[in-house]
Amino acid sequence: MIVAGFDSLIDDSAEGGFGYADGYIVPVPDANKEAYRAMAEKASSVFRDHGATRVVEAWGDDVADGKVTDFNRAAHRQDGESVVFSWVEWPDKETRQAGWDKVMKDERMQHDPNDQTFDGKRMIYGGFAPIVEA
């Protein structure tokens, strides 16, 4: 089990339920926190425009080193970086699949190859179906 605390950078939600989530962690240089926030706000709008019901971006606030594994090791965090823990909620997997296709084609998501806000090669991500909803 990996446990840590994160301070919310963005919590953008809309009407609608939660039936599927994309989750990811990525190390971000501390000096790029505001640049990351700006990028995340833009991306949040794109995800919401294409069917997501909520986008949360959270900056590592209490991310301890574990004995076997932890968020820092998982993301290969280096000195001067923090781990960002984020998720995108969708009403269901089908909406997520259709939404991702649109997100990837959206001109607002076209990546500038000179942008070094974060190292995408160290991003960890996946899709998750809920097993408990309270």
pLDDT, tens only, 62-75? 999 999 999 999 99
Residues forming beta bridges with residue 54, ordered by sequence position: 13, 89
CB 20 within 8 A of CB 128: yes
For range 62-89, the mean pLDDT: 93
Interhelix angle 33-49/93-105, rounded to 10 degrees, is 120
The domain ranges of the chain are 5-128
pLDDT value of residue 1: 45
Average pLDDT of the chain? Answer: 87
The model's pTM is: 0.84
Give residue 7's pLDDT band: very low, low, confident or very high (50, 70, 90). Answer: low
Res. 102: pLDDT tops 50? yes
Tell me the helices (H) and strands (E) count for the chain, helix number first: 3, 5
CATH match for 5-128 among 3.30.1490.20, 3.40.630.10, 3.40.50.970, 3.30.70.100: 3.30.70.100
